[in-house]
Chains A and B, each alone.
Chain A
Amino acid sequence: MAEPWEEEEGPVKKFMYVNRKAPYGTIYALESLEVVLIAAAFDQDVSLVFMDDGVYQLKKGQDTKGIGMKNFSPTYRALEGYDIEKLYVEKESMESRGLTADDMIIPVEMLSKDELTSLMEEQDVVMSF
């Protein structure tokens, strides 16, 4: 059964999810991804930002066998199927960690801190994890 808020033609707001933490070490990245997957069902304008250690969430070739945790990075590849296509990484965070767009498991747009600031100002809701 559809939830009440899914039946109404509600307003479309700009939602931005800011991922700032490394994929493992804490649960923020995994649980943030769970929010984004649920959010996809609400037909809102969704953007994802990866900055600080959050850029590591999209790093290719993650192998978590040694730490006994699930490697959830393949899930990011499924985002396109949820119509979540606005993915941004912060240029300065990438550069200071020696990462380039080629190191990422999905195509991303690289934005400078200043460009991200303007994008953030346009949002209605910003959730940071």
Chain B
Amino acid sequence: MKLAVLVNEGPYQHQAADSALQFVKAAVAKGHEIFRVFFYHDGVNNGTRFAIPPQDDRNITVEWSKLAEEHKLDLVVCIAAAQRRGILDENEAKRQGKSGDNIAPGFRISGLGQLIEAGIQAERLVVFGD
């Protein structure tokens, strides 16, 4: 089945990010297609490579990046939500005159249209939130 996933909460504070990650892993393992994972609200915080969880804890962002690389996943961070929360890619950092970017490998920043398109294209959109 062609699936899309919406992640509405950031890592660590809410389990929703873990649940989404585990859901995507399980879906891929079962042979389902993940059309897109869209990160909204505090969910955009899944996409910063600057977070440093303790070494004996899971690193959710690193796991997303690894999963994206292994399975060519499309991980999209909402630009409006990302700007509010300081998540920038190289282009946005330049455009906004910021000194650096922090987007993690495998993630890209784009608009809310990508979420609606995912809802249209996928057979199911699964929402992970609080």
A: which residues have CB within 8 A of B? Answer: 3, 5, 10-11, 13, 15, 27-28, 31, 34-35, 38-39, 41-42, 44, 124-129
Contacts and interface: CB of A to CB of B under 8 A. Distances in A.
Given A27-B41, A28-B41, A35-B40, A125 B119 contact: yes
B119 A15 contact: yes
B8 A39 contact: no
Which 4 A-B pairs give the minimum distances between C-beta atoms?
Answer: A38-B112, A125-B119, A5-B117, A42-B116
5 contacts: A11-B120, A27-B84, A34-B80, A128-B127, A129-B41
Contacts of B20: none
B113 interface: yes
Contact of B113 (A5, A10, A11, A126): A5
Contacts of A41: 113
Nearest to B129: A128
Given A10-B120, A11-B120, A125 B113 contact: no
Identify which of B115, B117, B119 gathers the most chain A CB atoms within 10 Å of its CB.
B119
B37 interface: no
A31 B120 contact: no
A3 B113 CA distance: 9
